């Protein structure tokens, strides 16, 4: 009996930990989207890994410096980033992959875009909190 209680208690603990992690991860995802919309360089510095690769639906891949520069110069402007069907696939507490469907609107070099995307993201947990390591989107 005691044995079963121990097991039950162990699983409760695991579920609790998993939930807390997914909440902090969802926070980081929302912070990233808000920072992209608001061109918030400080938050972007924090939520993106220095070696991040950010792949777009036309195959263009941005580095961290590209993302920061292109927002600052206005080459890339986001007006809307809306995620649905968020699915977190995690193996452990140190990293996770996330899949979302995303509606993105904005402009690239002055040309407006309105895209329905499927996105794969890889997040890793560092001393700074969750950081985006890689992202690839494709048009639905």
Partner 1 sequence: MNAGNMPQKIIKMKKYFLITVLLLIAFAVNAQSKDEQELIKRTYLLSHTVFGTKDSLMLEDLFAKTATYGHSHGNLQTRAEAINGIIHNQSTYADTAVSDITVIFADDDVAIVRHLFKANEIRKDGKTVPLNFSMMLVWVKEKKKWKLFGRQAVSLQ
Please report whether residue 139 would count as binding partner 1 according to CB under 8 A: yes
Site string for partner 1, 61-90 (x = CB under 8 A): x-------------------------x-x-
Please report whether residue 115 would count as binding partner 1 according to CB under 8 A: no
Choice from 97, 103, 105, 106 touching partner 1 (CB under 8 A): 97
Please report whether residue 55 would count as binding partner 1 according to CB under 8 A: yes
- CA-nearest of 65, 47, 68 to 121 is 47
CA-CA distance, 14 to 39, in Å (whole number)?
37
Least Å from the CB of residue 105 to partner 1: 17
CA-CA distance, 136 to 119, in Å (whole number)?
6
CA-CA distance, 52 to 63, in Å (whole number)?
6
As to burial, measured by CB atoms within 10 angstroms (0-12 exposed, 13-18 middle, 19+ buried), residue 95 is middle
Please report whether residue 138 would count as binding partner 1 according to CB under 8 A: yes
CA 134 to chain centre: 9
# binding residues, partner 1 (CB under 8 A): 30
Residue closer to partner 1 (CB basis): 101 or 107: 101
Residue holding tokens 């005691």?
A: 2
Residue closer to partner 1 (CB basis): 75 or 116: 116
Choice from 40, 63, 86, 95 touching partner 1 (CB under 8 A): 95
């Amino acid at each position: 009996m005691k044995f079963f209680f121990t097991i039950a208690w162990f699983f409760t603990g695991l579920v609790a930990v998993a939930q807390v992690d997914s909440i902090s991860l969802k926070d980081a995802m929302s912070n990233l989207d808000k920072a992209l919309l608001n061109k918030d360089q400080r938050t972007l510095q924090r939520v993106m890994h220095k070696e991040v690769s950010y792949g777009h639906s036309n195959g263009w891949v941005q580095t961290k410096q590209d993302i920061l520069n292109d927002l600052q110069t206005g080459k890339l402007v986001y007006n809307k980033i809306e995620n649905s069907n968020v699915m977190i696939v995690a193996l452990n507490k140190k990293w996770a992959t996330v899949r979302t469907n995303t509606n993105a609107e904005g402009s690239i070099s002055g040309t407006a875009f309105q895209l329905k995307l499927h996105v794969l993201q890889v997040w890793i947990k560092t001393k700074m909190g969750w950081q985006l390591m890689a992202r690839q989107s494709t048009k639905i």
